[in-house]
Amino acid sequence: MRFCILLIFCSVLYAETLIPYDFKAGEMTKQCEELIAQAKKKLDDVVAIKKEERTFANTVAAIENTLVDLDVKSTPAQFVAYVSTNKELRGESSKCEQMLSAFSVETSLRKDLYDAFNEYVANNKEEIAKLSAVDARLLEVMQTEYRKSGFTLSKEDRDKLKEMQKKLSSLETQFSKNLVENKEVLKLTEAELTGTPESFRSRLKKDEEGKFIVTSKYPDYAAVMRYADDANVRKRMLYLYYNRAGDKNSKLLQDAIALRHQIAELLGYKTWADYRTDGRMAKNSENVRTFLEGLQGKLAKINEQDLLNLFMVKKQYDPKAEKLDLWDVGYCSTKLKREKYKIDDELVRQYFPAHRVIEGTFHIYSKLLGVNFEEVKGADVWHESVKLFKVIDAKTKEVVSYFYADLYPREGKYGHAAAFTLRPGRMMDGEYVKPISAIVANMEPPTKDKPSLLSHGNVETFFHEFGHIMHQTLTKVAYASLSGTSVSRDFVEAPSQMLENWVWNNEMLAIISGHYQDESKKLPEDLKQKLLKIKHYNSGINYTRQVFFATIDFKLHTSGKDVDVNALYHKLFKGIVGLDSAEGTKWLAGFGHLMGGYDAGYYGYMWSEVYAQDMFTKFAKNGILDSNTGMRYRQIILERGNLQDPQQLIEEFLERKSNNKAFLEKLGLK
């Protein structure tokens, strides 16, 4: 019925928790099998309860707690796939994840468990009327999940649904594994890397011929696309990156789209998008379509102008150029920033050493949210570069949660930036279990001569992901499936998106900056003002690409089971983005969101930003470091998780109805 990958990866946290992560081959699958058997037994016990003896505690809460216990106890084995350097263990971890996913599907379709739940609902009206707010919300959420699970189907159709869902889960797991295991590289000479920063080249390994080995990891891709003078090298880099696991993952995605459509039809929905949006803020696929088409129309003119500006840059160094190619966009954007705004990204990076940004971020969040951060020295962690921190309430001095910071790339590690719930907050035996999370990123690693230096974009990403950490770790909701970021998919990004505004504030830039050679030297005022001027730089291009990502996701999940995924991608790209799509690429094979929980949900990034910018108006009015506004934000938005409908929480915080004015102003579309 629910399977949230609660990626717990704990070590010794005083006497509170001791969870191993140093698995040996064979241990993970054995452990997962045992945990699944234990969970099944507990659920069987729930089913066996007599009708007249059913209560909220022994039925509804028992189902919730059994599934959460399974997640929490099994996820050390699952997390190995995301952070381990051992390929064999990552493979076994993925196998364990598939076993747990299969059990989740089976559980979600257990008719006897559904009957037990309904038996409680039908025969306990008096108790239900007296439930606390959190108990009533859990009951409501579980009823919605059951409603979408197909229990009105015949046994034959339920069995069919079960097999399709198991197959879908397996496809999604394999898709992610293929991306992690991708090892394709470019081998380039120093001449071919002309224009790229020395700091980038100095960290690259070389082959036996002395050529630089450029991986398909995002930091390498971004450096080449922004700085390499040779257009052919940029083109080769783009094709390498856009074709990661191309053939394998294209087939997996194709099969997943077909399965999703068949599942949706079996459950009585017209499309997978209708199924996924049922119960979310958007309510249905028609509202999503209207939202995306409206935004695309509003962005069209500024996207066209942004592309023209970049094309004129290209004409300066290539007078015979007839068009702007996809592999020119990052390079020309960097040149235009330097020429028009006099922004040198490499100079900016010198003022954002990673440790200074982290310390500054802690300071800002402390002021806003009434918490302090303290590193746990000597903590037992899964890699020497990982650090553990505890979050302490500034008023009560109590430890409220923990989080790990795993910030630098290594072989086999998850390749992007994300915030993982490692252990959810929840009530157990009369005490609140302290949440544990991990911020996992791939910042440019330090070298022997320099610390890790971040671009301003990297700073914004860190601020965003750390916002998720706060959402996960400051929760106070009693049930795990309602706590932290266990909220509607089209709202979950809003709290973090709102906090991105802080890195575009003059005062905040002073707090988080400091030259790596002398941190007392803050980002110079002239450079700071130049940086602030580019807040809306290329907003037409950037948001139009987001509209495209959301639209291709939406179209894939509303076009039937026989849609050709790569053909649809290339068909839509030019019409929305305004550039040729680089024929022969299979970009969707690397679009992890489609197989990682954001299927028919990518629209949520922009949908939630509407609310993010509206919430920020409170801080813009009261002061960006106003602690009273910050505490209201913590108590209403962060602590309550999914205790209430997101719309209610937003409007309680705003003290008015929400609107899209601030979002459109950010885009220059007043």
Q: pLDDT tens, 466-524?
A: 999 999 999 999 999 999 999 999 999 999 999 999 999 999 999 999 999 999 999 99
Residue 14 included in any domain: no
Indicate if 137 and 84 belong to the same structural domain: yes
From 243, 263, 281, the end of a domain falls on: 243
For the record, the structure tokens of 434 come out as: 């302290």
- The DSSP annotation for 243-274 comes to TTTHHHHHHHHHHHHHHHHHHHHHTT-SSHHH
Residue 283 included in any domain: no
Indicate if 204 and 68 belong to the same structural domain: no
Question: Residue 387: which H helix or E strand, with range?
Answer: strand 387-393
Residue 338 included in any domain: no
Number of other residues whose CB lies within 10 A of the CB of residue 375:
11
396 three-class SS: coil
Residue 67 included in any domain: yes
Residue 8, pLDDT score: 31
Indicate if 211 and 123 belong to the same structural domain: no
Residue 668, pLDDT score: 80
- The DSSP annotation for 195-215 comes to TS-HHHHHT-EE-TTS-EEEE
What whole-number distance in Å separates Cα of residue 305 and Cα of residue 446?
Answer: 38
Closest-CA residue to 487 (of 305, 288, 613, 646): 646
- What integer is the mean pLDDT of 328-351? 93
Residue 103 included in any domain: yes
Residue 32 included in any domain: yes
Indicate if 195 and 92 belong to the same structural domain: no
What whole-number distance in Å separates Cα of residue 496 and Cα of residue 634?
Answer: 12
From 174, 208, 243, the end of a domain falls on: 243
Indicate if 397 and 457 belong to the same structural domain: yes
Q: How many domains does the chain have?
A: 3
Indicate if 485 and 399 belong to the same structural domain: yes
Q: What is the mean pLDDT of the chain?
A: 93
Checking if the pLDDT of 631 tops 50, the result is yes
SS (H, E, C) 338-375: HHHCCCCHHHHHCCCEHHHHHHHHHHHHHHHHCEEEEE
Q: Which residues are catalytic?
A: 465
Provide the percentage of residues in the chain whose pLDDT is more than 90. 82
Residue 13, pLDDT score: 39
Report the CATH number that the domain containing residue 503 is assigned in CATH: 1.10.1370.40
pLDDT in tens, 58-82: 999 999 999 999 999 987 888 888 8
- The DSSP annotation for 577-632 comes to HSS---TT--GGGG-GGGGTT-TTTTTHHHHHHHHHHHHHHHHHHH-TT-HHHHHH
- The DSSP annotation for 45-111 comes to HHHHS-GGG--IIIIIHHHHHHHHHHHHHHHHHHHHHHH-S-HHHHHHHHHHHHHHHHHHHHHHT-H
Indicate if 383 and 444 belong to the same structural domain: yes
Checking if the pLDDT of 635 tops 70, the result is yes
Q: Find out whether 280 and 217 touch, Cβ atoms under 8 Å.
A: no
pLDDT in tens, 244-297: 999 999 999 999 999 999 999 999 999 999 999 998 999 999 999 999 999 999
What are the Cα distances from residue 38, in Å, to 45, 97, 113, 158, 423?
11, 17, 16, 24, 19
Checking if the pLDDT of 218 tops 50, the result is yes
Residue 77, pLDDT score: 84
Question: Residue 405: which H helix or E strand, with range?
Answer: strand 399-406
What whole-number distance in Å separates Cα of residue 3 and Cα of residue 421?
Answer: 13
What is the model's pTM? 0.87
Residue 2, pLDDT score: 33
Checking if the pLDDT of 637 tops 90, the result is yes
From 243, 263, 295, the end of a domain falls on: 243
Residue 393, pLDDT score: 98
Indicate if 92 and 199 belong to the same structural domain: no
Q: Strands 399-406 and 436-440: what pairing?
A: parallel
Residue 20, pLDDT score: 58
Residue 254 included in any domain: no
Residue 15, pLDDT score: 33
- What integer is the mean pLDDT of 21-26? 82
φ/ψ of 578, rounded to 5, equals 90, 10
Q: How far is CA 593 from the centre of its chain?
A: 8
Residue 6, pLDDT score: 36
Checking if the pLDDT of 409 tops 60, the result is yes
Indicate if 60 and 142 belong to the same structural domain: yes
Residue 58, pLDDT score: 98
Residue 25, pLDDT score: 84
- What integer is the mean pLDDT of 582-591? 96
Residue 194, domain extent: 183-243
Angle at 6 between CA 612 and CA 20, to 5 degrees: 135
Q: Find out whether 354 and 454 touch, Cβ atoms under 8 Å.
A: yes
Residue 639 included in any domain: yes
Residue 75, pLDDT score: 78
Report the CATH number that the domain containing residue 139 is assigned in CATH: 1.20.1050.40
Checking if the pLDDT of 18 tops 50, the result is no
Closest-CA residue to 247 (of 552, 551, 584): 584
Amino acid at 410: R
Indicate if 86 and 208 belong to the same structural domain: no
- What integer is the mean pLDDT of 152-170? 93
What residues contact 140, with CB distance under 8 A and at least 6 apart?
Answer: none
Indicate if 520 and 630 belong to the same structural domain: yes
Indicate if 497 and 379 belong to the same structural domain: yes
pLDDT in tens, 365-389: 999 999 999 999 988 888 999 999 9
- What integer is the mean pLDDT of 320-325? 97
Closest-CA residue to 302 (of 110, 117, 547, 528): 547
Instruction: Kindly indicate the confidence band of residue 403, based on its pLDDT and cuts at 50, 70 and 90.
Output: very high
Number of H helices, E strands in the chain: 26, 10
